[in-house]
Copies of this chain bind each other. A is one copy, B any other.
Amino acid sequence: MTSEPLLTSDASAAEKRPRKSDGDRLSKLARHKHIVAQLTAAPTLRASEIAAALGVSGETIRRDLVELQEQKLINRTYGGASRPFALEPALTDRKTLMIAEREAIAAAIADLVLPNEVLMLAAGATTFHIARRLASRARDITVITHDYAIAGALAVNSSIRVLCCPGRYHPTEGYVFGTQTIANINSYEANRAIVSATGISARGANDADDEAGAIYGAMVKRAAEAILVADHSKFDQRALTVFAHWTDIDRLVTDRQPEGALATALREAGTEVIIAQP
């Protein structure tokens, strides 16, 4: 058992004489990384707070902020820093690419959902748009998700019950994953699962992250109806792990008619293709 309070001693005792054995002090690079990282969790920071947290002087932090601003890694404010556009929580590509297509897909999905349904909604760029759309349209539904951005987006509608999965938190993606997540998903029954993918091919839907793929696969198997959303940029893309074959997918919602082997595979598996017009 540990019982060494060491109570105050934070920034008062060993401050005057920094010695080389003071392992607590961070290097400049470490401070910079820390500041940038903190900005993914908080919208703004104050220089004085950073200085207190890192145990360095405000002047040092201010100099750090100048450098970070020159590198466009932060946005300076009077008294601190704020997040630059680029570092919005993992929404970088989501906001810039295929917005119209994804919005159209999201609208089509929202039309499918009926009151009192139970949905599983996986992490992803398009599914985040779906969550926003559902938040403004849907009523009295239950959504099971492992993505916290989606949970937050849905929660603005108080008639939506949002159930979050347990698991290990993925720092850059903002969702949980792992065996606990899978087990939790398997404990539910849902009307529909809505999942995205890194790519879709004749073999089925694939993802670049095996942990994410495992979650998508579990959702697909667990729901009465499995819906895959993918804009046309995903056509014939192949990534690490194939998490579902077309026979497991009931509907594909996309923005353009598939062709070639992909179209053949969809037809043979009996997957309904819904084209959402932007």
Contacts and interface: CB of A to CB of B under 8 A. Distances in A.
A86 B153 contact: yes
Interface stretch (A131-139, A195-203, A207-215, A237-245): A131-139
A198 B180 CA distance: 31
A274 interface: yes
A5 B152 contact: no
Interface in A8-63: 8-11, 24, 26, 34, 37-38, 40-44, 46, 49, 52-54
Given A79-B78, A158-B171, A166-B165, A41 B7 contact: no
A139 B4 contact: yes
A136 B54 contact: yes
Contacts of A176: 164
Interface residues of A, number: 89
Interface stretch (A103-111, A119-127, A228-236, A256-264): A103-111
Given A75-B43, A165-B166, A169-B151, A156 B5 contact: no
Given A8-B108, A43-B88, A46-B78, A164 B153 contact: no
Given A148-B148, A152-B40, A169 B162 contact: yes
Contacts of A83: 43
Contacts of A97: none
5 contacts: A9-B111, A41-B155, A77-B77, A86-B156, A166-B184
Given A6-B111, A8-B276, A162-B171, 20 more contacts: A2-B113, A3-B111, A5-B112, A6-B112, A10-B111, A37-B135, A37-B156, A38-B132, A41-B132, A41-B152, A41-B156, A43-B91, A54-B136, A77-B77, A77-B78, A77-B82, A79-B79, A87-B148, A155-B169, A164-B166
